[in-house]
Amino acid sequence: MQDAGPCRVLLVEDDESDAHLVKHMLSASRASHYEITWVDNLAKAKRRLHETPPDVLLLDLSLPDSSGLHTVEEVHHVSSIVPVIVLTGNDDVDFALQTLESGAQDYLVKGRFDSDSLARAIRYAISRARLEQRLIQSEARLRTVADYTYDWEYWIGPQHEIRHMSPSCERISGYSRSEFVADPELLERIVHPDDRALMAAHKHDASSREMGDVDFRIVRRDGEIRWIAHACTAVRGLDGEYIGQRVSNRDITERKRLEAELREQSITDTLTGLPNRRHFFARLEDELARVKRLDTLHASVLMLDLDLFKRVNDEYGHFTGDAVLIHFAALLREQLRKIDSGGRVGGEEFAIVLPGADQGAASIFAERLRQKVAETPLVQNGEKILVTVSIGISELNTADTSADAVLIRADEALYRAKKKGRNRVEVSN
């Protein structure tokens, strides 16, 4: 999003009523001011992208002249920089993953988002696109130097003696060239303890190959941890005799930081900081596979829903509603063990996996969390906003063919908790 002026939005939607609804939502947003251009087919969208690239593209996948994921690919051919948010009527997790893999930054299901959630999605998409561009630019700068011509280079002889060490070793590692020449084992000692096995395996493999590469961490003289992209090439004399290895290193710490930030954004709900729906479901599938493999293990799933959340939004507004979600997520996080996994799976819907917990243990945990939430109102501008939660519990079992089975049981228990008056815990039958 631009630092000054309105956010320029290109809306590609052939349904006039849907287009007017999106425009109305953006006009009503208090987060930003939007300059909206609406077109009703892909051809017009491609012309707009070419002539006046927007800050973000809201894209319907059912257009008169294009449909499906092909539509996303087409707009990326015109501009790979503009972030794309897909608007779809298909509420399917696999389809959502396909849209993200095809290049979209996010997807929203029609009828399931409001003004504030749309504004948040736009902010997130633009932020993530900027991070990706910075990563691409960082990698491009590395490539412009030359392939395998890294900042820190050295040549190790057949007896592991150092025959050459570039002066830049001191800038990257904090140790001087003379220190490495006098003590060749220093190269191994500065490797991060957690990466020493990796480097030992690399050295073993490299001894039987002409070339090799690996990323690892070093601990500088001052204690700072840096990431190194390491590439080595066997050096041979005119007669083919092995006379050592030529090694090139480059500091890629910033690139690794950007990659980690992108990974974190891809698995995290941006509002609450909890794992998002996709990441939680992946964790649940992993836990089900573990239960099936070991058979004797227990694990339980909790489905949670904030009671009368719509009333909070209606009475206090969506910003307060967001504050309530953040408040609840913090209370939930306080109760989780390190091995537990909690996530936001819907608007006011959350889920938890408790490894090692049968329904009895899960019920104790759920009741403790329910009481904590009921006893800890959100305080905003001196006013206490009471929040309660209903919880449904089900235990994973080896007969479950997929994670959906246990989720359905937990959801049914949650429905009973709601039906019986809310602010209570129910266990599946």
Do residue 278 and residue 240 come from a single domain? no
3-state secondary structure at position 66: strand
Average pLDDT over residues 190-217: 85
Number of H helices, E strands in the chain: 15, 19
* CATH assignment at residue 328: 3.30.70.270
* pLDDT at res. 104: 87
Do residue 215 and residue 304 come from a single domain? no
3 pLDDT tier (thresholds 50, 70, 90):
low
Do residue 395 and residue 272 come from a single domain? yes
Average pLDDT over residues 20-25: 92
- Output the average pLDDT for the chain: 88
Q: Is residue 260 part of a domain?
A: no
Q: How far apart are CA 151 and CA 126, in angstroms?
A: 33
Q: What token pair was written down for 236? A: 């041979």
Q: How far apart are CA 302 and CA 45, in angstroms?
A: 44
Q: What are phi and psi of 421, to 5 degrees?
A: 120, 0
Q: Is residue 261 part of a domain?
A: no
Q: What token pair was written down for 363? A: 């019920």
Q: What token pair was written down for 201? A: 């395996």
* CATH assignment at residue 236: 3.30.450.20
148 pLDDT exceeds 50? no
User: Is 391 exposed, middle or buried, given 0-12, 13-18 or 19+ CB atoms closer than 10 A?
Assistant: buried
Which domain, by its residues, includes 210?
Answer: 146-253
Do residue 30 and residue 96 come from a single domain? yes
Handedness of CA 121, 127, 131, 133 (dihedral sign): positive
Q: What token pair was written down for 1? A: 């999003």
Do residue 365 and residue 422 come from a single domain? yes
Q: How far apart are CA 179 and CA 199, in angstroms?
A: 21
In which residue are the tokens 């009741």 written? 367
* pLDDT at res. 40: 94
Q: How far apart are CA 282 and CA 287, in angstroms?
A: 9
For the chain, the domain total comes to 3
134 pLDDT exceeds 60? yes
Do residue 139 and residue 152 come from a single domain? no
- Residues 321-337 have pLDDT tens digits of 999 999 999 999 999 99
Q: What token pair was written down for 110? A: 């029609």
Q: Is residue 294 part of a domain?
A: yes
- List of residues 6+ apart from 177 with CB closer than 8 A: 165, 166, 167, 169, 170
Contact, 297 vs 357, CB < 8 A?
no
Do residue 235 and residue 293 come from a single domain? no
146 pLDDT exceeds 50? no
Contact, 26 vs 119, CB < 8 A?
yes
